[in-house]
Structure formats: structure tokens, C-alpha cells
Amino acid sequence: MTAQTPAIAPRRHGVAANVIRGCLGNTVEWFDWFVYATFSLYFAASFFPGENPTAQLLASSAVFAVGFLMRPLGGWLLGAYADWRGRRAALTLSVTMMSGGSLAIALIPGYATIGLAAPILLLIVRLVQGLSVGGEFGSSATYLSEIATPSRRGFFSSFQYVSIVLGQLLALVVLIVMQQFFSDSVISAWAWRIPFVVGAILGFVVLYLRRTMDETDHFKADQAQKEEHKAASFKEGEQIEKRGLKSLLTEYPKQMAAVFALAIGGTVAFYTFTTYLTKYMVNTAGLPKSTASVVSFCALFLFMFLQPVTGMVSDRFGRKPVMLFFALGIMITTVPIFTVIGHTHSGWVAFGGMMIGLVFLSGYTALAAIVKAELFPTKIRAIGVGVPHALVAAVFGGTTETVALSLKNAGHESAFFYWVIGCVALTLVAILLIPETSRRSTLEAQDPIVADGDEIITNQHSTATDITPQDGTEQKETTHV
């Protein structure tokens, strides 16, 4: 007996075109996310009353933190939506929520006009944007991993962090440009709304691009199998296959724990070397703010180009060696890097120290999407990646700077360096325990292979639709087009 699997429709676009569509949306989402933090110094007074600027900034920062707390819920809801309706549908919804939120922030009147409704509306919008960015990572990681050419998955999926860093850099560039054309008083009065309008416009352009990108063959094949399994279960009275959060918690606890551990060290190291280190240059080393900003911009710009290079290395030599390069490198160099930067007055020395950390960090960021995606089957991949990553981002990523500053205020600044090392040590344990995902990947188990002639041979050797005759011989599934 041979199982009949519906033929997979050909893609309208090539891999590169689909990756670009996915990453442009990711860039816009992170641009919108970072614009809030970048311009909060200017718009805080518009939404929060009082004469104390510090209190106003604390209020705006609290709203930013609430957005982090919404990310796990976004990872769950949009991850489940991506596994139910498709990766393209989830990514389209995500960018719609983020861009609509940016437009809303640009249009919300200030406290002087509508009173308490102003900060309440701002909070609601940031909650929606928190859902969006929380769901973006898992859906984006899944899409890039599934759409990529099998032998180049590390390379193509590495563009997820290219787009994240690019969004951060674009927000900074907009700030620098606006500071050249407007005075601080003008930006505080009304011009701070401009970047939110820009983000909304870019988002709606990307919305069109995402609507035209192809759905992945993995999702389409999984949907076909789900319908077949549902029909067979209905006829035979069997239980319908479990999906969603319940399936994740009961069937894949080890994979979920692995993503937690992988994300903890990577997330803490990411926020330490890309965000907190800039403030460390100013507060501890005493470098001018302008110097620290230039150092960070140049280092992050180069860091962005390290991602595809590191991804290609992982395609050639495997994921685990590259991830070990990250973990061991960060654990060995974190204390020396921060110690040297903390005692220097040279921007060049600070740049060199930051780049050393970012080179090692690229061993995680370039593979963050693919390593996690390769641990889960198609039916649970988006939520499997999204939920644990979003939880870690909320608990560890959102508190990295707070932990660092609290320890500095208590007179134990160096303790933070060992906090980073301890978190990365957890990731090291996970790296050692997980299989080499590039060779034992759930993605490889479902790669459609187009044969010569008019048939599609679908490699399903690790799924529920395997057909293995009783004599032990293996039989391939064929579907005539």
C-alpha cells in the first residue's frame, strides 16, 4: 500500500527573494521596537505629567518593560497561529500589529490634550507591540529555516539577526539625522512623532511584500498530512494528533528545555555586548557619550556582516563547533574585555574590546534561529521556538541592564561579568547535550525532493506517515502530479 500525498505547488519566488521579504519585515519590526527606546528621552514629557524629567523617563521605561513582559504571550499566540494558519500568515499579522502600533503612537495626543488617556493609550499600544515582537522571532526563525536551501540553512537563517541589528542601527541613524535638522526643543515638541510615522509607512510597504512571499513547503506538506491523519482518525475512531502548547509541554519537554538553556546565555550576552556595553563605556570608563555612540555604531555595523559568514561556517563544519566557539569565547574573554574597557580612555581600545566580544557572540546570533528550529517537527516548530525564546527574552534579556546597574550601585560591578559567564555556562551545557542539528535535523526529515519526470518523492523517514513494510524494507512515498 502506498500513501498518496498531495503535490506541493511550485514557489513563485526563489529562496533569496523570500528571505529578503521575511527579513525586511523583521527589520521594520525591530526598527519600530527600538525607536521607542531611542526617542523616549524626547517624548516622555508629552505622555507623563510632572516637572521631574527622571520620573518621566522612568515612566516611559516602565511602559517599555511591560512590552517585554508581553513577549511570551506573543510567542505563544503567534507561534500557535503560525503552526495553524501558516508562517506567512503569522508574519503578516505580526508586522501589521507593529506598524499599526507605531502609527497609533504617532497620532496619540499628549497628556496636556487628553489627560490620563494619553499614557493609558500608549501602554495599550506597547502591549500590542510586545505581542508582535514576541511572536516575530519564532515565526521568522521557522520561516527562514524552512524556506532555505537545505545545504545553506545556516547562511540563510543567519539573516534574522542581520535584520534585527539593522533595525537597531536604522533607529539610531534616524535619531542622528533628526538631531542635525531639528533642535532638541522641536524634537520634544512634535518632531519625535516623525520616526513612528516612518516606521508605520515602511511597515505597510513590507506588509504587501510579506503577503506575496511563498509559504514553506514544510508547512504545506504538514497541512496535507494533518488532513489525511484527521480523516483516518475519524474513520477508525482514533485520537486526533495533539498540537499547540499542550503538545509542546507534554511531547517535547527536552527540546523546550534545550531552547531555554540555549537562549539564556545567548540573550544575556547579546544585550550585554550590544546594549549595556555602550553605557558601561560612559559610566565606568568615562568616555564621552558621542565617542561611545560612534564606537557602538561601527562595531554593530561590522557585527551585522559577521552573521552570514558565521552561518556559512556552520553549514560547512556543523552547528555545535560554532556554538562552542561562542560559549567558550564569551566565558573566557568577558572579564578581560570589561576590565580593559573600564580602565581605558581610548575609543579605539573600546572598539577593539567590543569587537572581540561581538565576534564570539556571532557564534550564537547567526545560529539562534536554525539550531532551535532544527529541534522541532513542523507541526510544533514556530511555537516550540517562540515560547521559550520569548520567556527568556522577558526574564533575562529585559533585566540584563537592571542587574548590571544594580550590582554597580551596590559596589560589586565586577559580579555582573560573572553573572554573564554563569548564564553562558548554562548554554554551554545545552550545546554539549543537543545533537548536531545540521546532521540530525527535523527539517531534513521532511525535505521534498523533486525527482526526474512527473513525480514528487517526499522524504518522510521520521514522521507519522512513514511506510515501513513488515519485512523491514523501506518504501518511499510517491505522488503523481
* 82-135 tens-digit pLDDT: 888 888 888 889 889 999 999 999 999 998 899 989 999 999 999 999 899 888
Residue 471 binned pLDDT confidence (cut-offs 50, 70, 90): very low
SS3 for 104?
helix
The CA distance from 239 to 245, in Å, is 17
If we measure between CA atoms, which residue out of 368, 137, 413 comes closest to residue 270? Answer: 368
What DSSP state is assigned to residue 93?
H
SS3 for 478?
strand
φ, ψ dihedrals at 450, nearest 5°: -85, 120
pLDDT of 238 > 60? The answer is no
CB atoms within 10 A of CB 210: 25
Residue 461 binned pLDDT confidence (cut-offs 50, 70, 90): very low
Share of the chain above pLDDT 70, in %: 83
* Torsion sign over Cα 299, 399, 383, 204: negative
The CA distance from 326 to 338, in Å, is 17
Query: Which residue intervals of the chain bear CATH 1.20.1250.20?
Result: 13-219, 243-438
Using alpha carbons, list the distances in angstroms from residue 382 to 189, 365, 411.
Answer: 42, 18, 42
Helical H segments across 48-116, by residue range: 53-69, 71-85, 87-107, 111-114
The CA distance from 394 to 354, in Å, is 24
Residue 158's contacts (CB-CB under 8 Å, 6 or more residues apart) are 307, 308, 310, 311, 365, 366, 367, 369, 370
Most confident of 63-77, 246-260, 359-373, 465-479: 359-373
Would you give the end-to-end CA distance of the chain in angstroms? 19
Residue 50's contacts (CB-CB under 8 Å, 6 or more residues apart) are 56
Residue 31's contacts (CB-CB under 8 Å, 6 or more residues apart) are 167, 168, 170, 171, 199, 202
- As to burial, measured by CB atoms within 10 angstroms (0-12 exposed, 13-18 middle, 19+ buried), residue 340 is middle
In CATH, what number does 243-438 get?
Answer: 1.20.1250.20
CB atoms within 10 A of CB 445: 16
The CA distance from 291 to 302, in Å, is 17
SS3 for 457?
strand
pLDDT tens for each residue of 131-152? 998 888 888 888 888 888 888 8
Looking at residue 2, what is its pLDDT?
A: 43
Residue 233 binned pLDDT confidence (cut-offs 50, 70, 90): low
Cα 292 → chain centroid: 25
Mean pLDDT, residues 321-340 taken together: 96
The 3 state secondary structure assigned to 241-270 is CCCHHHHHHHHCHHHHHHHHHHHHHHHHHH
Q: Which CATH class is domain 13-219?
A: mainly alpha
Mean pLDDT, residues 11-24 taken together: 79
Looking at residue 341, what is its pLDDT?
A: 95
Residue 178's contacts (CB-CB under 8 Å, 6 or more residues apart) are 187, 191, 194, 195
